[in-house]
Structures are given as C-alpha cells and as structure tokens.
Amino acid sequence: MAEETDNQEASKIDEDAIAAQMVASTNGEDGPDGENGAETEAAGDDGQSARVLNQDEIDSLLGFSGEEEDAQDNSGMQAIVNSSLVAYERLPMLEVVFDRLVRMMTTSLRNFTSDNVEVSLDHMSSSRFGDYLNSIPLPAMLGVFKAEEWDNYGLITVDSSLIYSIVDVLLGGRRGTPPMRIEGRPYTTIERNLVKRMINLVLVDLKIAFEPLADVMFTFDRLEINPRFATIARPANAAVVAKLRIDMEDRGGRMEFLLPYATLEPVRELLLQMFMGEKFGRDSIWEGHLARELWATDIEMNAVLDEQSLMLSQVVNWKVGSQLMLNAGPHSTIALKCGDVDLFTGTMGQRNQRIAVRVDQRLIKEP
C-alpha cells in the first residue's frame, strides 16, 4: 500500500509539472516581455510563427518619430506620402524682395509704433494652400489683399501675440509688462482697425520692395477671422509662404505672407533671374556703355528710286548699253532704307552740287 501511494504521488507531481510548463508556455513566461506568448498567439494553422512588431519598429516603418515634425529626413511610408508633393521651383529674386521688405518694415513700424522694432525673416517655403490654412494657429487675423496689375490675391496672417502687442503699444501700454490676452472672445472693432492700419502700412512697403522688379499696387481687400472665409485659391494650389518675426523689446509676434504661384505668374520670368547684390539682375554700368556705343554706331542708308521685278531671262540678255526704264520722275517719292527696314520717305533734289533727299515722312515709330 505504501508503494502504491508513493507511485500515485510521483505521477501527480509529474502531471503538475507538465501542466505548469504548458501554462508557462501559453502565458509567455519564457521571455521578460511576453515575446513567446505573442509568438504562440500569432502562429498560423500551418505551425509557422510570425513575430509581432513593437511600437518603435512600427514608427520606423511608417516614417514617424518622436522628434519635431519639421524634420526633412523622412523615410518609410512618410517618404512615400511626401513623394506625391510637387517640388516647387525656387525664386531667387523673391528672396531679395522680402529682404528689402524686412528692412523697410523695420523703419516703417518704428515710426508707426514709436518703439524699438526689429523685423527678421525666419524662412521661406513652398506649401499647398489648403495645408497652410490648416496649419494657422487660431485665433489670428487674416488680411486679404489684391495685386491690381496681376489681377490676383495674396494673404497676410497676423498671430494673436502680435495683435495684442500692437494694441498694447499703440494704446499706451507700459513697457516691461506682457500684454494681457483674453482668449475665447472675438476681436473688438478697435483691435481690428489697428491691425488694418498696420496691414495697409505693410502693403505700401511691399509695393516699394517690388518696384525695382515690377510696378504693382497692393490694395487691402478685407480682414477675416475664420480661415475658411479667407480662401483665395484652391486647396491643392501651390503658394510661397514667407514667415517674419517682429520683436518690440519684450513684446512681439509673427506675420506671415502667402503669395500663390498663380499671383506671381506674370513676373515669374523676372523672379527666376540670378542676381548680384540688389541690382535685380541688371548691370547699370554695362547698360550705359551699350547705350552710348549704340548712339555712336555708323549705319548705311540706301535711297531707293524705284523697284521692279523682272524675269531672269530678261536680266541674262542685258548687254553693255542696255537701258532700264524706271517708273519714277524728278518729283517722285524716294524711299530711304536701312537694310530691309523702311525708315523715311522724301523727294530728290540737289544741294551744293550734290544729289540730296529731303525727308518728308517718318515711317519708324518712336519708342
């Protein structure tokens, strides 16, 4: 009886050990992170196991990372998505225009606010119009302006920090105290009017910045709070975005310019020019030298009495002494030509024992 009891206890211990081993393999106790359990659950009917990816591997596959979103070295699925974006061309001359705008805005805003204002250009980039509208931090004011000569529109975005700073400066706020921000309320009429005055001032500077390149007038159209009401182009249209930083000692904010490529199309060829300094692709010294040399150029002019069309057989039969009758008399009109270009018409005469032509009509148009 004692031996049978021992055999039963031994078999019971073996059964308990086998059951514990099965539970451990099922719950994934073999690995610290439960990898074995995941592999057992992911195993297919054919007995082949598939390893489950962790979060870091999934982010690497999709091209996302915990770093800042503006990183340019995207990979994986993110790179495939971004490959559908159009690589828009750079406009070197537009960068010079905004550099001039920054310098002029610094002076005009100092006079406008009677404060020490510093304007700096953060960066310029290309974006789709719809993506830009979705990225605007609200609340903000959006000023829509029109380029009259180009018959298209642009956008100026003023963030809330700059709005409160301008209101605080213009209404006599003390220095050293941050402007009070009351979020969750619409902008008042006073705030809208002050921002409108600032935008009109900036548009005048933008016109002057474009003057060496093209004569264009920018006029203020309207001021919007909701970005949906400031739609000036289709969401998929390309646009140039220039972000400016305005600092007034301990106050300031951001102002952004958006110009659709359709707006810049009339001056696209000029904006693509390479440049040196601020001469906008032109060398005034060379232009002056070329103009002086052109005025001193010698040209050959021909006084044509008459023109006739003859057959080649008649010209071949000409001999010494043959006569060609012209359809012109002493008072007929004479054409003065330079090459194939008709310049003047006149009448033939004599002056100082020489044959002369008196100009009666000018055929070339004055520039």
What was the pLDDT predicted at 36?
46
User: Which among 127, 99, 102 is positioned nearest to 275, based on CA atoms?
Assistant: 99
- Consecutive sets of 10 residues in the chain, 367 residues long: mean pLDDT of each? 51 58 50 44 50 76 54 53 52 86 91 88 87 87 91 91 87 66 74 92 92 88 88 88 88 89 86 60 76 87 85 89 81 85 86 86 75
Q: Residue 119's Cα: distance from chain center in Å? A: 20
pTM, full prediction = 0.54
> Residues 240, 123, 106, 277: is their CA dihedral positive or negative?
negative
Domain ranges of the chain: 31-63, 92-271, 302-318+329-362
- Cα separation, 354 vs 336, whole angstroms: 17
pLDDT at 16: 62
Residue 176 has a pLDDT of: 59
Rounded Cα gap, residues 210 and 9, in angstroms = 98
User: What is the distance in angstroms between the CA of the first residue and the CA of the last residue of the chain?
Assistant: 131
Q: Which fold has domain 92-271?
A: Chemotaxis protein chec (3.40.1550)
